[in-house]
Amino acid sequence: MSNPSVKDRISGLPDPVLCHLLSFLPTKCAMRCSILSTRWKNIWDSVPNLDFENKDKSDSVGFMNFVDHILNFPGSVDIQKFRLHCSCVGDYTRIDGWIRTAIRRKAVELDIGVSNTGKTLELPKSVFMCKTLVVLKVKSNVITYNPPTSGCFPSLKFLHITAEGPYCDSVENLLSCCPVLEDLIIDITLGVRNCNFKISASELKRLSITFHHLLIHLGGEKVFINAPKLENFDVKEDILANYCLENAKSLVKANVDLCCYCVHRDVKFVTNATALLAGISNVKCLCLSARVLRDHCLPAFDNLSELKLVLYDFYNWDLLMKLLDKSPNLEHLVLEHKELRWHTPEYVPACLTSHLKTITIRGFKGYQHEKKVARFLFENGIVLDKMAIYNDLGEEFTLFQRGSGTCLAI
């Protein structure tokens, strides 16, 4: 039995607050709240966010009817966020209509996920011309893009495209028609043919590119980037594309993950790695994760002050020494690795004796060669303020001779 002394405080909240609370729920759940009391009966249809996902793949008809019912409900408000994720819905006419309805109702954020087999679904032209659209996220293996020749995306600032299959090449059509775009995320699984991408965005500040290849012997994509205001750049690939960065002088941070296998003897990989790193050599903060990268691919990183280096099995330590040598103004170093071999170098990189202030090391297991690395850095870090090792070197580390009398050993 209900306790009459317990007051329903939530129902006493103003309508805008209740709408805000319901906006975090999937639309079906928000609609169910209308049965809680008469106070909630008409609140859900004022919620500006609509979220549809057909988690029950066996009831696609029921899902389509529900979406139709909500979108055709009389007196509905403008849409702030429209999320539609559906798979195995073969009626593309209805999907197209739902997207168009969201655009007519002045959607600010559009999040579309459509997966299927068979024919393609072209993104409606009204999406490209929408003046209210600020955020666009699309995840699909069937959606293609054919934008108008002018007037596209006048307000779009955030674009996240996840694509796979034979229609990835149409993604390129999007990448040069976003005049005010600031954030771009591209996550593509490539099939049996290569794709080339030209990214030209005068206001772009953050760019993330991830390429996956279904066939390891493929690769060879070309990526041209012209983004004079680009500040953050992330790239993750299993087979490295040919990158050409133009006007990258504003770049501050870069995260390069070259999770490549079986390509360390590939001349094309060496050439592409050299070009990519040269294009980002102006960065101040770099995270570099590499399995097979060789030291002769490295340019000079004269502005680099923070470096995180992740190394893997069957590697050598020459890359670390070369990076230190190529980064004369480095102040902060984070080192992660798995079991490697170390040969004490015959010289000390300039950054160790002049600028390097902090060193953080993860992944050490207490092997002799690991102790040699820690000792070399600790003893030659003349201006070190702190050196931290978060693994199994034990107390021996604190007993090493210090290059800096003020260095804190953790």
Which pLDDT tens digit goes with each residue over 336-367? 775 556 666 766 888 877 888 888 877 776 66
- Among residues 241, 188, 191, the alpha carbon closest in space to that of 211 is found at 188
Q: How far apart are CA 410 and CA 403, in angstroms?
A: 15
The overall pTM is greater than 0.85: no
Task: Give the residue, 385 or 303, on which the prediction is more confident.
Answer: 303
Residue 223 lies in a domain: no
CA distances from 220 to 193, 226, 289 (A): 10, 20, 20
Contacting residues for 403 by C-beta, under 8 A, at least 6 apart = 352, 378, 379, 380, 381, 382, 384
SS3 at position 40:
helix
DSSP code of 72? T
Q: How far apart are CA 54 and CA 89, in angstroms?
A: 9
The bridge status of strand 408-409 relative to strand 386-389 is parallel
Tell me what pLDDT residue 17 has: 72
Q: What is the pLDDT of residues 267-301, one digit of tens each?
A: 777 888 888 999 999 999 999 987 777 777 889 99
- Among residues 120, 211, 226, 205, the alpha carbon closest in space to that of 158 is found at 205
Burial class (CB in 10 A: 0-12, 13-18, 19+), 256: buried
Tell me what pLDDT residue 211 has: 84
pLDDT at 4 over 60: no
The CA R_g of the chain, rounded to the nearest whole Å, is: 27
Q: How far apart are CA 153 and CA 99, in angstroms?
A: 15
Q: Out of 5, 26, 47, pick the residue that ends a domain.
A: 47
pLDDT band at 1 (very low <50, low <70, confident <90, very high): very low
pLDDT at 23 over 50: yes
Question: Domain containing 381: what range?
Answer: 322-405
pLDDT band at 108 (very low <50, low <70, confident <90, very high): very high
Mean pLDDT computed over 200-210: 94
- Which range has the worst mean pLDDT, 196-205, 240-249, 382-391? 382-391
Q: How far apart are CA 102 and CA 113, in angstroms?
A: 14
What's phi and psi for 382, nearest 5 deg? -65, -35
Residue 53 lies in a domain: no
Secondary structure tally for the chain: helices H, strands E: 9, 20
Helices 92-104 & 60-71, crossing angle to 10 degrees?
Answer: 20
Tell me what pLDDT residue 221 has: 78
Tell me what pLDDT residue 264 has: 46
**Rounded (10°) CA dihedral 107, 113, 119, 122:** 30
Q: How far apart are CA 251 and CA 228, in angstroms?
A: 9
Residue 307 lies in a domain: no
Residue 343 lies in a domain: yes
CA distances from 92 to 191, 266, 282 (A): 24, 44, 47
Tell me what pLDDT residue 266 has: 67
Residues of the chain above pLDDT 90, percent: 31
Residue 26 lies in a domain: yes
Mean pLDDT computed over 118-135: 92
Count of structural domains within the chain: 2
SS3 at position 217:
coil
Tell me what pLDDT residue 185 has: 96
Q: Out of 30, 47, 64, pick the residue that ends a domain.
A: 47
Residue 111 lies in a domain: no
The highest-confidence range among 112-121, 123-132, 271-280, by mean pLDDT, is: 123-132
Residue 30 lies in a domain: yes
Tell me what pLDDT residue 215 has: 59
DSSP code of 401? P
- Among residues 88, 146, 77, the alpha carbon closest in space to that of 113 is found at 88
What's phi and psi for 168, nearest 5 deg? -65, -30
SS3 at position 195:
coil
Q: How far apart are CA 44 and CA 70, in angstroms?
A: 10
Residues of the chain above pLDDT 70, percent: 74
- Which range has the worst mean pLDDT, 42-56, 75-89, 142-156, 318-332? 42-56
Tell me what pLDDT residue 314 has: 47
What's phi and psi for 300, nearest 5 deg? -80, 130
Q: How far apart are CA 388 and CA 163, in angstroms?
A: 41
Residue 371 lies in a domain: yes
Q: To the nearest whole number, what is the mean pLDDT of the chain?
A: 81
Q: How far apart are CA 388 and CA 382, in angstroms?
A: 16
Which run of H or of E encompasses 25? none
Q: Out of 47, 68, 87, pick the residue that ends a domain.
A: 47
